[in-house]
Amino acid sequence: MPSATESPAGGEEGEVLRYEEIEDDSVSPTDLSELLKEGTKESHDRAENTQFVKDFLKGRIKKELFKLATVALYFTYSALEEEMDRNKDSPVFAPLYFPLELHRREALAKDLKYFYGEDWEEKVKCSEATQHYVDRIHHVGQHEPELLVAHAYTRYMGDLSGGQVLKKVAQRALKLPSTEEGIQFYTFDSISNAQQFKQLYRARMNALDLDKSTKERIVEEANRAFRFNMQVFDELDKIGRSLPEAAQDGGFPVHDGKGDLRKCPYYADKLGKAGSSCPYHAAAALAKQPLMQLILAACVAVAAGAAAWYLM
């Protein structure tokens, strides 16, 4: 497992952790990290295949919907980090307390200020699906702190994995600033190497003094966390279907290549010419070719695999 130059609590303020890569040859099938990995595979797959995530990966993310997703994340992480602070000295959670490296509430507040302005707190509210998630996190933190491991694992390990794919998609599709305003949530300035940090985090999980029954309950809770996330995705997807296509600010106009070509604003050539100057009709026509369909399918599959850990 990796070693790290860090304080027991996860690093002093202002310090950036640096990790030494050590080959991991001691993982056991009964380790909590392995039990979580194997026990949540199906939930991973279902989360990846929600319509919201599939559209996101394709760059079909409307700005208004992205803002609402950021709001949901803000309330979720506010609850999670409140309970983590409450249990920072508990032996069943303390080794996983990395406030400087992981906490996202302040980063999300910056993103909301960017999207909604100085008075953002007066403009946002917790949605129904997010509230159910928040309530469960508070219950766990106050009554079953050992299960808090499941929620921290599901969220933060996802943010450091597939979340980094989504960061790039959002920045490109919404034409967000290169200075990363609006996507501070995905930026972990105090982690120098995400892969090595995740190894450290898993090592800390595996070192927790937990019996078999407790480990099984943590895996069950992690699957519950995925279900809460999927409920939020479904809620966002329903909202997204009610938004006009024009609300897809910053991204490319979406066109499926169907309908009257003359209505395409990018169509400049006369009908009957060989080919069209409209890039969207041209792309749509190309996508209908069997070989191109296979290539596009492969690209989507790779992106989805990289996002196996989605944030929300």
- Judge whether 103 lies within some domain: yes
DSSP notation for 38-87: HHTHHHHHHHHTSHHHHHHHTT---HHHHHHHHHHHHHHHHHHHHHHHHT
pTM above 0.95, yes or no: no
| Residues counted in the chain | 312
3-state DSSP helix/strand/coil percent for the chain, to nearest 5? 60, 0, 35
- Judge whether 183 lies within some domain: yes
CA distance 214 to 42: 21
- Judge whether 84 lies within some domain: yes
- Judge whether 269 lies within some domain: no
Question: In 10 A of CB 272, how many CB atoms?
Answer: 5
What's the number of domains the chain is made of? 1
Q: Which portions of the chain are predicted below pLDDT 50?
A: 1-23, 246-288, 294-298, 300-312
CATH at residue 170: 1.20.910.10
- Judge whether 275 lies within some domain: no
Is the CB of residue 61 less than 8 Å from the CB of residue 173? yes
Contacts 24+ apart (CB under 8 A), 242-247: 243/62, 243/64, 243/65, 247/62, 247/63, 247/64, 247/65
CA distance 101 to 194: 10
pLDDT given for residue 290 in this prediction: 52
- Judge whether 236 lies within some domain: yes
pLDDT given for residue 169 in this prediction: 95
CA distance 185 to 145: 25
Structural domain harbouring 221 = 32-242
φ and ψ of 268, to 5 deg: -115, -25
pLDDT given for residue 269 in this prediction: 35
pLDDT given for residue 245 in this prediction: 67
pLDDT given for residue 13 in this prediction: 38
pLDDT given for residue 243 in this prediction: 86
pLDDT given for residue 24 in this prediction: 53
φ and ψ of 28, to 5 deg: -110, 150
pLDDT given for residue 154 in this prediction: 95
